[in-house]
A and B are shown apart, each in its own frame.
Chain A
Amino acid sequence: DAGVTQTPRHEVAEKGQTIILKCEPVSGHNDLFWYRQTKIQGLELLSYFRSKSLMEDGGAFKDRFKAEMLNSSFSTLKIQPTEPKDSAVYLCASSLSGLGQDTQYFGPGTRLLVL
């Protein structure tokens, strides 16, 4: 079975640009998560979807970050406009359902550098 797929693996953007990161969850999984990972802040939840419905939108990340789940097998994270402090690894994860504490399966991440 294919795991979580993320594209691109690396992205370099100029300050002020719009970038879109893509994620394909494990087939059949109902929950999808977007995280940002940095050495200083660790893993921070950006968005959480359950059966395509947005459950959490990450509070502090609301203004420039927008995650969408276009269908059950594809999600995007748009950052607009980008700032240098957005440089981080963006991880997508999926789990089977929200009814119990199911294992989250992570993708390899997209490493973003904003100049």
Chain B
Amino acid sequence: QQQVRQSPQSLTVWEGETAILNCSYEDSTFNYFPWYQQFPGEGPALLISIRSVSDKKEDGRFTIFFNKREKKLSLHITDSQPGDSATYFCAASDSNNRIFFGDGTQLVVKP
């Protein structure tokens, strides 16, 4: 059973628009949710993260909205830039530092 699911699989937006990437998880013991950004030819890199005690985390143009009751979260990228074009992975972690990754959303931002 897949622990973390992401949608959509791919997303195209125009420069300046808000991109919304969705994520859901299965295990209610998960309490830490990092989002990783991966460019072609590179490994994933941490973009932003949230702990389950919060319902929102903001860092510049990137915001995570977290709904613990529904076991869902989303990453909003406002004023999207072509340089944001990458694959975004939602992940969930438990207290043992085991981390489960979603399959990723490939974002393309058109100029």
Could you tell me which A residues sit within 8 Å of B by CB distance? 4, 31, 42-43, 48, 50, 56, 91, 93, 95, 98-109
Contacts and interface: CB of A to CB of B under 8 A. Distances in A.
A91 B43 contact: yes
A53 B11 CA distance: 40
B81 interface: no
Nearest to A97: B97
B97 A98 contact: yes
Contacts of A91: 43-44
Contacts, number: 48
Nearest to B89: A43
Interface of B: 31-32, 34, 36, 41-46, 49, 51, 89, 93, 95-99, 101-104
Contact of A43 (B32, B34, B49, B101): B101
A107 to B, nearest CB: 5
A42 B42 CA distance: 15
B28 to A, nearest CB: 16
A101 B97 contact: yes
Contact of A108 (B43, B46, B95, B99): B43
